[in-house]
Structure 1
Amino acid sequence: MKKYNDTTYAILGILTTDCRSGYEIKQFIDNSLNHFWKISYGQIYPTLKRLEEEGLATIQATSQEGKPDRKEYFLTAKGKEILKDWLEKPLKQLPVERNEVLLKLFFGNHQTEEQTIRLLEDYKQKLEKIYQTYEGIEAGIASHNNNQSDAKYWLFTLDYGKRTTAAAMEWCDTTLKEI
């Protein structure tokens, strides 16, 4: 069986939702996956084209007055099978975090204590904004998508983000006290 990259699997998964066009897929990514999985706009259309070429998705064009045809993508049985096969495989590796704050702190002995404090305070403020964003997303899912069977799984991933962000904020407080 052919191997695909993670972007392909992510877009196959997105096509199981009501998102059908490249624009809708990008909006879905920006409002959900982007918090833990980055996919650039430039990756979406080539991936959709490849899905269609390999029989994993079909395209349905709809005419729009005064605009180019709207292309909607739908998973084929083969596309669903490829997604299911990938979902059932064990993880290849644990995620590796690249964190500039930790890298700078690791070499913190070579900067002033004041700069280290500013770095950590700035980081904590950014984490607080992210946490607020997660709470907004959670409220949106609860009010608009509560009946979808996907919603509980979206909330699981959101809970992970909230918990790791809360832990990072707590770590900032502890580290600042130690400095």
Structure 2
Amino acid sequence: MAQKNILQYIILGLLDQEPRTGYELTQDFAHEIGEFWQAQHSQIYPLLARMEEQGLITHSVEVAGTKLEKKRYSITTEGRSALSSWVGAPTPTMATTKDEFVLKLYFVQRADDARLPGMIREQIAIHQEWLDHLEARRQLLFGDENVPQDQFGHYLILDHALTREQQYLSWLDQQLTQLPHN
């Protein structure tokens, strides 16, 4: 079975929030969406053209300054229908994550490997920094509100990311304390 082009649905979802330029979409992947899904400029622009050919989106041309033209993309009725179908469809597979640290652990043979404490401490620092970032994002976006009335999905993914990082840090701390000669 062919894999769905998830990126097109992300773009449809962003355009359903508000019309955006290609640059603004790229920036969304550098910030909000980039916390859980990656896409490059080289993927986004060709996909926008294909999506427009398929009737999922349309664009208008805006002039910025005296000469610069930019396209502002909007979702069509057909695009909203496709987005709604995708959001409501089952998600039967579990995503594979690419974690280079875990891959390296796979090749460590012994618990007394001298590299392990440094490797784990490095990951603790990385994940603590990311956890701090996520907590700052939650405070910036939602303040002290426990469950927001709008942007509930965004709140859920941020809460998921926070929980994941807290659990990962707990696991790393546990592994570090169990190492011999630590």
Normalising by structure 2, we get a TM-score of: 0.87
RMSD: 2.1
1:108 corresponds to = 108
1:83 corresponds to = 83
Q: Which amino acid aligns with 1:98?
A: K
2:44 corresponds to = 44
Deviation per CA, 1:98-146, whole angstroms, max 9, x where unpaired?
2221222222226963311100100110001111111121122126xx9
Q: Which amino acid aligns with 2:97?
A: E
**SS in structure 1 opposite 2:58?**
strand
Normalising by structure 1, we get a TM-score of: 0.89
Deviation per CA, 1:38-72, whole angstroms, max 9, x where unpaired?
11111111111111111111101111223421210
* Contact 1:58–1:75 (8 Å) recurs in 2: yes
* Contact 2:62–2:71 (8 Å) recurs in 1: yes
Sort the Cα spacing of 1:26 and 1:154 in 2 relative to 1 into closer, same or farther, 3 A: same
Q: Quick check: 1:170 aligned with 2:181?
A: no
1:99 corresponds to = 99
Question: Counting helix residues as a fraction of each chain, which structure ranks higher?
Answer: 1
Distance 1:147 1:166 in 2: 22
Distance 2:138 2:66 in 1: 37
Aligned length: 174
Q: Which amino acid aligns with 1:58?
A: T
- Mark the runs of 5 or more structure 2 residues left unpaired by the alignment: none
Distance 1:14 1:53 in 2: 18
Distance 2:114 2:80 in 1: 54
1:30 corresponds to = 30
Distance 1:154 1:74 in 2: 21
* Contact 2:19–2:75 (8 Å) recurs in 1: no
Q: Which amino acid aligns with 1:21?
A: T
Distance 2:116 2:24 in 1: 41
